[in-house]
Structure 1
Amino acid sequence: MSDLKRYEEAIVKYHSDLRIKSVPVLSLEFYYQYIKELKESLVDFRNLKGLAFKNKWEMSPDWNIDTPIKEEVIIVTDAKLSIVFASRNMIKMNGYVAADVLGKSPKMFQGEVTDRVISSEINTAIQLRQAFEKTVLNYKKNGEIYACLIKGYPIFNIKGELIHYIAFEKAA
């Protein structure tokens, strides 16, 4: 019994000599935010994989959705350029949530200062069913302008039919 008492006294002494007495509350908030973002990216990944499976996407070797979904915003449109998927991290880049953009055209992000030549080049690539990479001046939900690097790819099904476009986007 005396050994147990000495052990407890040693533990009390050890902990009283430590400089940090408790975990800072802010560190828990950062940890929570990280876990929340990780969870959201996993949900997005699962939903995107489901969309790919349902529509029998023929995956291009040029892109991999595993890594970008954590670091980039992913937008998928149907063949008529109506948004059918938007990753949850889009809110950090431009202030929009998926519900704001589903069913709309990606042109909703463009405005007066968007370079028409670059927009035309993107449209040409889309019409030719080619991949493209361009930096565009877009508008956030609050009206602020931001430069957006867009890497866009056509998506074909296993029959070779064009069914979607996918864009990996990030603030440039």
Structure 2
Amino acid sequence: MSSFQKCGPLPLMSWDFFSLHYQKTALLLQEANQLQQRSVMDRWKEPIDFREELLPKDQVIVLTDTQQNIVHATANIFQMNGYQPEELIGQKPKIFQGKKTCSETSARISKAIKNRLPFEETVINYRKDGSIYKCWIQGQPVFNKAGDLIHFIAFEKEVA
């Protein structure tokens, strides 16, 4: 008798859960590869392990140009705030802010960006449907190998 026959039948729901996890993992790996390709193409000075940031940490990644226009948002942003990544291209991250977003926290983030410095903050953001959530953000400037500022990158996660 094979090991499979000893296990007996598996409930169909277990395959459904596996399939959902597999689809999410495959999508995140695709996102990691796209970001990795972009970092090579743009000749980023410091490599980032996007697989590590997306898979075990389950973080959202938002990449902007130097003017703070979003050029890439990972697909898992939809679960966090209801926006599809395509809706965000060309928008500024301020799209997530509203009345309850702390102006002092926003000012600290703006100052760090202006000074090309990394930052870590937790902010009140707004979902597409108007509901609020706390968002931990770790942001940093991205320089190319020539030392030119080319992007800002933010690693984000909803927190309690």
Q: Provide the secondary structure at the position in 2 that maps to 1:66.
A: helix
Instruction: Give the Cα separation in 2 of the matches to 1:100 and 1:159.
Output: 32
- Superposed, 1:1-172 pairs within 5 Å as 22-59=9-46, 64-70=49-55, 71-172=58-159
TM-score (norm 2): 0.91
Q: Provide the secondary structure at the position in 1 that maps to 2:50.
A: coil
Following superposition, the deviation at residue 65 of structure 1 comes to 2.4
Which deviates more, 88-97 or 36-45?
88-97
**What amino acid sits opposite 1:158 in the alignment?**
K
Following superposition, the deviation at residue 141 of structure 1 comes to 1.3
Identity among equivalent pairs (%) = 36
Gaps of 5+ in 2: none
Q: Count the aligned residue pairs.
A: 154
Contact 2:29/2:51 (<8 A) preserved:
no
Q: Provide the secondary structure at the position in 1 that maps to 2:51.
A: coil
**What amino acid sits opposite 1:79 in the alignment?**
T
Runs of 4+, deviation exceeding 2 Å:
63-66
Gaps of 5+ in 1: 1-10
| Bigger Rg, structure 1 or 2 | 1
Following superposition, the deviation at residue 21 of structure 1 comes to 5.4
Q: Provide the secondary structure at the position in 1 that maps to 2:123.
A: strand
**What amino acid sits opposite 2:43 in the alignment?**
K
Q: Provide the secondary structure at the position in 2 that maps to 1:37.
A: helix
